[in-house]
Amino acid sequence: MLTTRPTANGLDELRRGWKIILLAGVGLACGLGAIPIYSLGVLTKPLSETFGWSRAEVQGIYTWFTIGNLLAAPAVGWLIDHHGVRRVTLVSIIGMAIGMASLGIFTGPLWSFYLIAFITAIIGVGTVPITWTWLIVDWFDISRGRALGIALAGTGVSATLLPSYATWLLTDYGWRVTYVGLAALPALLAFPLSYLLLFERSSRPTATVRVEKHVKKVSDERVGLEFRDAIADYRFWILNASFIMIALAIAGLISHLIPMLTDRAVSLETAAKVAGVIGIAVIIGRIGTGYLIDRFWAPAVGLLLLSLPALSCVLLATGYGGVYAAMFAAVLIGLAAGAEFDLMSFLVSKYFGQRRYGILYSCLYAVFKLSAGIAAPLFGLSFDQTGSYSFILFCAAGSLLGGSCLLLALGRYRFSS
């Protein structure tokens, strides 16, 4: 049953940390958690036509991004927990920018795309939500859900604008310049802002940051489970299973939406606009999820929002309603995509605490991203084998329903902040 929770002084906390929310939003919009997946749909057919690769092979580029994230995420979580977030993030932003540009400059054979994507993911892992949600959890307690929602809405901005931005670059300059243009986003937007604003709450002067009496101390005094105790808890594995099922469906839907539409004679420009609707819905989903989980039991909120794209799968599989139905499907996909990382971060803090938040969130995020990376070529393989997306779409609908229902087994929160 949904139960309300107090939110006193939440507005004061939001006013104190608005620069951190802005920074995290820009960082997320320009990070590896957004740019590869929201641009790949635009690049899938051009790369396939240029090199003669199947859709599964092209979408495999995203898989190698996720494999790199999988290997590097636990390490970056450990580094953040023990050495802080600033240095890790600044290095990763530059590494990501260089890697994305390299995809346009140094690639040719398929293996070169895979290799560069893998290396970029390892070096740039500090640009994924691990670092940005750590920063939000560090700065916010009472209004943590809302702060996460607003910051994570940055990925919605990417989902809204990146398809059209990538389409413009592709149409006017070709796919190589498109990758260079994507690299410019972290280099010119995220890095300068991070250099100026990225600091942990505990490192700021007390005259600047007033920490309320009820707020816990930092570093070793953070409340929460040790890593070994958390992974022995059944809740950790429920979260993994749930987000695996959800990631497999949502990532496949996002990365293949544009090819699905252009297969039905929808123009690339129109398909990009439909895909952009996902971004608008992601923003609404991020902020709405943050508002709801500050007030109601988060697993129930997750069930409500994460099951929505099951209907999208049915609409896209049947083709019912044309472009307008596809837009409605995109809205439902975006609302769920807007909820996933808010929920993951919030649930880790509420069930395992903050003592080892970095490494625990990193492990969950790595598994989530691996599942998302498998989803992109899996959807492509299903199309290559059957000539249609219908089978994989119905499978995705079942996965969404099952994964969202699993969250209900988490039970009551274990930590209040």
Give 35-90 pLDDT, tens digit per residue: 998 888 889 889 998 999 988 899 889 889 988 888 888 888 788 877 778 888 99
Q: What is the reported pLDDT for 219?
A: 42
**pLDDT one-digit tens code per residue, 196-205:** 998 877 655 4
Reply yes or no on whether the pLDDT at 213 is more than 60: no
Reply yes or no on whether the pLDDT at 340 is more than 60: yes
**Residues near 275 by beta carbon (within 8 Å), at least 6 away in sequence:** 38, 41, 159, 163, 254, 257, 258, 330
Q: What is the reported pLDDT for 51?
A: 92
Q: What is the reported pLDDT for 263?
A: 85
Half-sphere exposure of 277 (CA within 13 A, CB side): 18
Instruction: Confirm if 293 and 347 have CB atoms less than 8 A apart.
Output: no
For 9, the token pair is 């002084």
What Rg do the C-alpha atoms of the chain give, in angstroms? 20
Q: Is 213 exposed, middle or buried (0-12, 13-18, 19+ CB in 10 A)?
A: exposed
Top mean-pLDDT range of 65-69, 260-264, 300-304: 300-304
For 245, the token pair is 């099922």
Among 193, 197, 170, smallest CA distance to 181 is for 170
Residues paired with residue 224 on neighbouring β-strands, in sequence order:
353
Mean pLDDT over all residues of the chain?
85
Q: What is the reported pLDDT for 275?
A: 83
Reply yes or no on whether the pLDDT at 120 is more than 70: yes
Q: What confidence tier does 306 reach under pLDDT thresholds 50, 70, 90?
A: very high
Least confident piece of the model among 48-57, 187-196, 340-349: 340-349
**pLDDT one-digit tens code per residue, 222-256:** 677 888 888 899 999 999 999 999 999 998 998 88
Q: What is the reported pLDDT for 203?
A: 56
Q: What is the reported pLDDT for 10?
A: 65
Residues paired with residue 353 on neighbouring β-strands, in sequence order:
224
Q: What is the reported pLDDT for 359?
A: 81
Instruction: Confirm if 32 and 128 have CB atoms less than 8 A apart.
Output: yes
Q: What is the reported pLDDT for 415?
A: 77
Q: What confidence tier does 14 reach under pLDDT thresholds 50, 70, 90?
A: confident
Least confident piece of the model among 201-210, 241-250, 262-271: 201-210
More confident residue, 209 or 144: 144
Q: What confidence tier does 206 reach under pLDDT thresholds 50, 70, 90?
A: very low
Unique residue bearing structure tokens 């802002």: 193
Among 130, 150, 131, smallest CA distance to 369 is for 130
Instruction: Confirm if 8 and 142 have CB atoms less than 8 A apart.
Output: yes
Indicate the CATH number for domain 17-201+224-410: 1.20.1250.20
Q: What is the reported pLDDT for 226?
A: 82
For 397, the token pair is 């609908």
Q: What confidence tier does 140 reach under pLDDT thresholds 50, 70, 90?
A: confident
Q: Is 187 exposed, middle or buried (0-12, 13-18, 19+ CB in 10 A)?
A: middle
Sign for the CA dihedral angle at 48, 53, 55, 58 comes to negative
Reply yes or no on whether the pLDDT at 6 is more than 70: no
Q: Would you give the DSSP letter of residue 190?
A: I
Span 145-149, mean pLDDT?
A: 82
Residue 205: how many CB atoms within 10 A of its CB?
6
Q: Would you give the DSSP letter of residue 111?
A: H
Q: What is the reported pLDDT for 396?
A: 94
Reply yes or no on whether the pLDDT at 184 is more than 70: yes
**pLDDT one-digit tens code per residue, 357-400:** 778 888 888 788 788 878 888 998 998 889 889 999 999 999 99
CA dist 28 → 23, 134, 155, 174, 260 (Å) = 9, 12, 6, 26, 27
**What pTM, to 2 d.p., does this model score?**
0.69
For 189, the token pair is 């937007």
